[in-house]
Amino acid sequence: MREDRQRLDKWLWFARFAKSRTLAAKLVASGFIRVNGQRTENPAKAIALNDVITLALSRTTLVIRVADLGARRGPATEARQLYISIETAGEPLASEDDSR
C-alpha cells in the first residue's frame, strides 16, 4: 500500500474505535462504516488524509475526518490526534435551509 494510505481496519484500531484489529475488521465487514459517503465492507479499504468516515455505532453515529495516519496504537491522547470530529455537540450536520 502507498505511504499516503492506510488500511481502514488498521486505522480504526490505531484511533481506538475498536479494542482489537479483528474487531475493527468485523465492524467494517458488518457494513457500519462509510468512507466519503460510500458504504464499505472491505477492511482493507485504503483511506487517506481528509477522508470522511461515518461510524454507525450501537448508541451513536460519529462523523470524523482523518487528520493523520497512525504508526502505532498509542495512548488515547495520541489516538485522538488521528481524527477531527465534524459534528459539533448537539448541532445537526445540515441546517433546514440546506434541504432545498
* Domains of the chain, earliest start first: 6-87 (3.10.290.10)
Burial of 6 (0-12, 13-18, 19+ CB in 10 A): buried
pLDDT at 59: 86
Q: For the chain (length 100 residues), average pLDDT per consecutive 10?
A: 88 94 94 93 94 90 93 92 78 53
34: amino acid identity, one letter:
R
Q: Rounded to whole angstroms, how far apart are CA atoms 12 and 99?
A: 31
pLDDT at 4: 86
Instruction: Give the angle subtended at the CA of 21 by the CAs of 58 and 76, to the nearest 5°.
Output: 75
